Amino acid sequence: QNSRIVSDFKQTKLEREAQKHWDVFYKRNTTKFFKDRHWTSREFEDLCGSEQKGPKTLLEVGCGVGNFLFPLLKDNSSLYIYACDFSPRAVQFVKENSLYDESRCKAFQCDLTSDDLLAYVTPSAVDVVTMIFVLSAIHPDKMLQSLLNIRKVLAPSGCILFRDYGLHDFAMIRFSPGSKLDENFYVRQD
């Protein structure tokens, strides 16, 4: 439906100003846009809990305001979570949450495509990395670098859990004209 790709100028501008746009999003919506992801506790146990009774250390990439982080911390007292987001404002909301406890979690701002995760996380220390609707927000040319960055902190027996948009799903089909940046790569209007 939307076959026209936006101009190179607009693509470059959107990429250069991506962090600003995420900060504006969180300024406008604060902590009220996304619902807490209580389903993740159930899915998390099913996917990773059978052999070792749940991972000890987790890295949540794209933590937003903590909708995944806080329900999971509530449900699993033996879990330590590193949580990072591209938006400094989102990370500040996480740190201001009454459930934030540095003995159980550490939130930090990070551009996964260029910042070194080793500045915040010990090498090979993470049992599970979660990426919930993160890959679709990263330019395809930078995805490999992002995954190599994650690999530095992932334990040899660790795993990556991700959920994202699918090719030709409703989210992709409903994008309005002026949203297509490249083949299978779109910008949301919010």
131 in a structural domain: yes
Question: Can you tell me the distance from the alpha carbon of 63 to that of 108, in angstroms, rounded to the nearest whole number?
Answer: 9
Structural domain for 157, as ranges? 8-35+54-184
150 in a structural domain: yes
94 in a structural domain: yes
43 in a structural domain: no
1 in a structural domain: no
pLDDT (0 to 100) of residue 64: 86
Residue 145 has pLDDT above 70, yes or no: yes
Question: Can you tell me the distance from the alpha carbon of 150 to that of 145, in angstroms, rounded to the nearest whole number?
Answer: 9
pTM of the predicted model, to two decimals?
Answer: 0.70
Helix segments in the chain, DSSP class H: 8-16, 18-29, 39-52, 69-75, 88-96, 143-153, 170-173
44 in a structural domain: no
168 in a structural domain: yes
The residues with which 121 forms a beta bridge, in sequence order, are none
pLDDT (0 to 100) of residue 1: 46
171 in a structural domain: yes
Question: Can you tell me the distance from the alpha carbon of 62 to that of 146, in angstroms, rounded to the nearest whole number?
Answer: 12
We report the CATH number of the domain holding residue 18 as 3.40.50.150
The answer to whether 67 touches 42, Cβ cutoff 8 Å, is no
Number of domains in the chain: 1
The answer to whether 72 touches 81, Cβ cutoff 8 Å, is yes
Sequential DSSP letters for 49-103: HHHHSS-SEEEEES-TTSTTHHHHHHH-TT-EEEEEES-HHHHHHHHHSTT--TT
pLDDT, tens only, 54-86: 558 999 999 888 888 888 888 777 889 999 998
- Measure Cα distances from 90 to 5, 71, 101, 143, 170 in Å: 30, 17, 16, 22, 27
- At residue 39 the predicted structure's pLDDT band, cuts being 50, 70 and 90, is low
Residue 95 has pLDDT above 70, yes or no: yes
